[in-house]
Amino acid sequence: MAGKPLPIYGKGDQIRDWLQVEDHARALVKVALEGRDGETYNIGGHNEKTNLEVVKTLCSILDELRPEHPEGIQRYEELITYVADRPGHDLRYAIDASKIERDLGWTPDETFESGIRKTVEWYLDNAGWVENVASGEYRKWIESNYDKRGG
């Protein structure tokens, strides 16, 4: 929204599995309450997307929700810039979440599209919090409220 470039490594074809944070929290509670001791449960969203797909989705949502574009652009997607890929950059991270579904009956409630929209809306609705973090102002509160004796 500030009109800064949106760098994408290589062609943006690295794939990741996306999971909305509330789904992740629900899965953790499910594992804590119903999982078997000593078992491992992978938590995944069944939402594999390329980095480029994710950025284009974010841009599209912003075009809809914040159509006041920075000067010189008509769509946020115009801010995408391709940069050299990192050496050894993994092409795909995959999660097999079939065990948590089979054993505990857990699946995510959110699709990629609904989850990313909720996330963007949260950030837009909490612009003051975002600015506080981006500016480092929150550190002053932590430093003034942190008990140096350990709590």
Instruction: Record the pTM.
Output: 0.84
* 46 vs 144 pLDDT, higher one: 46
Per-residue pLDDT at 147: 62
The pLDDT of residue 82 is 97
pLDDT tens digits, 32-89: 999 999 999 999 999 999 999 999 999 999 999 999 999 999 999 999 999 999 999 9
**109-126 confidence digits (pLDDT tens):** 999 999 999 999 999 999
Residue at token pair 């989850």: 115
Per DSSP bridges, beta strands 15-17 and 48-50 are antiparallel
- At residue 6, does pLDDT exceed 60? yes
What distance in Å separates the CA atoms of residue 12 and residue 54, rounded to the nearest whole number? 9
Confirm if 101 and 45 have CB atoms less than 8 A apart. no
Sequence spans of domains, the chain: 6-145
Q: Supply the mean pLDDT for the chain.
A: 93
Helices (H), 2-151: 21-34, 51-65, 98-104, 112-125, 127-135, 138-145
Tokens of 25: 């929290």
| Residue pair 10/82 in contact by the 8 Å Cβ criterion | yes
Task: Quote the DSSP letter at residue 7.
Answer: E
pLDDT band, residue 151 (cuts 50/70/90): low
pLDDT greater than 90 at residue 91: yes
CA–CA separation, 33 vs 52, rounded Å? Answer: 37
Fold of 6-145: Rossmann fold (3.40.50)
Structure letter (DSSP) for residue 71: T
